[in-house]
Structure 1
Amino acid sequence: MLLTCCYGVVDDLDDLMMITSVMERNGGVLRQRDHLASRLTFDRLVKSGSIARVLPGTFVSVDLLTNRHTRCAAALATYSGSVLWGTDAVAALSGTLAKSPFGPKDTVLLAHAQSRYPRPGVTWVRRSVPDAHRVRVNGLRSPSAAYLAVEASARDSGALIEKFLRAGKVRPVDLPAIVPLLIGSPGQDVRRRIVGASLDNPWSGGERTLQELLRRNRITGWVANAELVVGGQTCFPDILFEAARLVLEFDGYGVHSKPEVFESDRRRQNLLVIGGYHVLRYTWKQLTEQPDALIAQVRTMLARESTS
C-alpha cells in the first residue's frame, strides 16, 4: 500500500516511501513523533485523508480505522508500558482479534501499573503485570494466557481457564505459580480454589463439576481430556478410567445440541465402543439434581470391570 495525497507528487518521495514502509511494519500505525524530520510529508498525508488521528500523536491508515488489531496496536504505541487487557487480550491470545470490527464508540482496554486519565478510545485498568508474563502476540503486548486466566478466575469462576485449557493455550501445571503474583488483589481465595480445581484439566464448567463430584466421593484412577488414540484416531474423553476401559462424558445442551457437535459426539462414541470402551453420558441436570445416581452408576461400572 503506497500512501498518496491530494497535493499531487510529494516533494520528497523518499519520505513517502519510508513512512509507507514504517506503517506497513507497524500494522497500519504511525506515531507523529517518530517522523519529525518528515513533518511536511506527514502533514500532507493527514490533510489528504490518507491517515487519520485516533489517539494523541498516533495515526492509522484510513483503510484500517475499523480494524480492531490496528486500533489495539495504535493504543499500545501511544501508551508505552501498557498491555492489552480484558476481551481484547483474550481475543489477541486466541487469534480472533480482527474478527470483530472496531466501532465508533468502542475503546481499547489497557492495563498499566500506574493510574491513567481516561482518554477517548481507551479504557484503563490499574494492574502491574510482571515482565515474565508479558508476551507479544502478532506484535501486540499482552499478559500471558496463564496470568490473564488466573486473574480473571476471581470473577468468572474459571471460565477463561477452561477456554485456554481447551485451546491448549495453558497447561494445568502453569496455573499455581500465578496465584502468588496476585496477592493483594480482590478474590484471592476464589482464585486459589479454582486453580486447585483446575489441576485436573477441566475444559468446561460441566466437566469441572463432574470432576469435583468424583473427588468428593473419593473416586480415583481417572484422567481428564487426555489424548487417547482409538482405531488410529485421536480423541480427548472428558473423563477416562483407562484401567476399567470406562469413559464419562458431560453433555452441555448449549454446545452439544449444535448439529456439528451432535454428529461428532456420535462418531466419537461409536469409535470408543468399537475400541472396547464403555461410555456413560451425563447432563447438567443429572450432575446437579441426581449426583447420587451418577456416582452409583460409575461405581457399578468400575466394580464390574475390576471383577471381570
Structure 2
Amino acid sequence: MLDQWLAQHDGVITRAQARDCGLSDDSIDRLVRSGAWCVHSRGVYFVANRPFTDDARIRCVLWGAGVSAVLSGEAAAFWHKVIADVPSLIDVTVPRAGRSRAEGCRLRRRDVHPKDVVLRRGLRVTSLELTVLEASVGKAHIMDRALQRHTNLERLRRAHARNVGRTGSPKAERLLKAAEGGARSEGERLLIRELRVQKIQGWVVNFRWGGYEIDIAFPGVMVAVEIDGWAFHSDRDAFQRDRTRQNVLSQSWTVLRYTWADLTERPERVVAEIVATVDRIRCSQPR
C-alpha cells in the first residue's frame, strides 16, 4: 500500500498519509533518521531514491501549506496541463481564517468558491476556469491557449462571477471582454495610445491600399503594422484570408504582426521594434 501510494504521488507523502498507509510515528521517524525519507517541510516527506520532479516539488509545497490549501495561478495551469513549464514561484491559496504555513510558495489568503476547488491527481487545485482567469493576468496567451483546447467563454464567465473581488479581477474582466471579440480593436487602441505617448510621427490608422485595409501604416516607408485577434476565434477560411492578405502586402510593404497579448504585456518592446524598423528603412532610402 505504501509503495503504491508513493508511486502514484511522485514519491511525496505527509505524516498523516503515511499513517493511513499503516506506518506508525516511530516507523516514520526511523525512515527519516536512516535517510530513506527526506524532510521537505514540517510533516511532508520525499523518498530519497526517487528523482525530485516538478510534480514532486508542487506536491511538497502544497501539502506543506496545510490541508485547506489550494494550488492556484500558473502552477495550477501547469497541473491542468494548460501550460508546459512549471513556474519558478508556486502560488497557493488558503482560506482567510485559520493558520497556514508558507514555505517555498507565494501564499494568498482568499476564500475560493467551493465550485472552483477540484481534486486533480490527488491535489486540491483551483478549477480549470478559475485557474485560467488568474494565470492569464499578465500572460494573456494562457487564456487564448485554454480557449482553443480546454474550455469556453461561458465557463470562464461563470467562474469569474463566482469569485468577484479577488486580486486581478478587473484585469480578468478586461481579458474576457477582449476574448469575446474586441481583442483586435482594443489592441489597435493600445498601440495608437503608445505611439501618441511616445510622439511617434508618420503613421495612419486603417490605411487603404490595393483593396486592403492596413491596421496602422507608415506610408512614407511602406511599413504595415497588423494586429491579430485571439487565435481561438480563427477558422480555416479566416486563417487563409489573413495569409493571402499578408502575402500580397509583403510584396510591397514590410509587415509587422502583433497580438493583443504583445500589446498588453510588452507594449514598449512593440513600439521599439516598430520605430527601429521605420528608422532602418528611412535611413536606407535615397536622399
Which of the five TM-score ranges fits, normalised by the shorter chain?
Answer: 0.5 to 0.7
Residue 70 of structure 2 corresponds to residue 83 of structure 1? yes
Answer yes or no: is 1:199 the counterpart of 2:184.
no
* Alignment match of 2:161 (pick from 168, 180, 204): 180
> Please, which moves more after superposition, 47-56 or 184-193?
184-193
Q: CA 1:284–1:63 in structure 2 vs 1: closer, same or farther (change >3 Å)? A: same
Which residue, out of 42, 46, 53, partners 1:56? 42
Rate the CA distance shift 1:185–1:30 in 2: closer, same or farther, 3 A.
closer
Query: How many residues are matched?
Result: 220
User: Does structure 1 conserve the Cα–Cα contact (< 8 Å) formed by 2:144 and 2:230?
Assistant: no
Q: 1:31 aligns with which of 14, 27, 45?
A: 14
Aligned to 1:68: 54
Q: Which amino acid aligns with 1:121?
A: G
Larger mean Cα displacement after TM superposition, 107-116 or 169-178: 107-116
Quick one: distance in 2 between partners of 1:112 and 1:187?
17
Q: Bigger relative contact order, structure 1 or 2, given CA contacts below 8 A and separation 6+?
A: 2
Shift of residue 23 of structure 1? 2.1
Give yes or no for the alignment of 1:161 onto 2:139.
no
1:69 and 1:114 map into 2 onto residues whose CA distance is 26
5+ residue gaps, structure 2, are: 192-204, 207-212, 214-228, 264-269, 275-287
Structure 1 residue 118: Cα displacement: 4.7
Write the distance in 1 (CA, Å) between the matches of 2:142 and 2:153. Answer: 13
Alpha-carbon distance in 2 for matches of 1:61, 1:69: 14
**TM, length-normalised to structure 2:** 0.59
Please point out which of 134, 156, 179 is paired with 2:117.
134
Structure 1: gaps of 5 or more residues: 1-17, 229-235, 241-245, 250-268, 291-308
8 Å CA contact retained: 1:114, 1:127:
yes
Q: Which runs of 4+ in 1 moved over 6 A?
A: 210-213, 278-281, 285-290
- Give me the whole-angstrom Cα distance separating, in 2, the residues matched to 1:223 and 1:56: 45
Q: Is the 8 A contact 1:64 1:70 kept in 2?
A: no
User: What are the equivalent positions in structure 2 for 1:1-308 lying under 5 Å apart?
Assistant: 18-36=1-19, 38-39=23-24, 40-64=26-50, 66-78=52-64, 79-94=66-81, 108-114=90-96, 116-153=99-136, 155-156=137-138, 158-166=140-148, 168-200=149-181, 209=187, 225=232, 236=236, 239=238, 247-249=241-243, 283-284=256-257
Report the RMSD for the aligned CA atoms in angstroms. 4.3
Offset of 1:109 from its aligned partner? 2.7
Which secondary structure does the structure 2 equivalent of 1:63 belong to? coil
So what's the TM-score if we normalise by structure 1? 0.55
Secondary structure (helix, strand or coil) at the match of 2:115 reads: helix
Cα shift at 1:226:
5.6
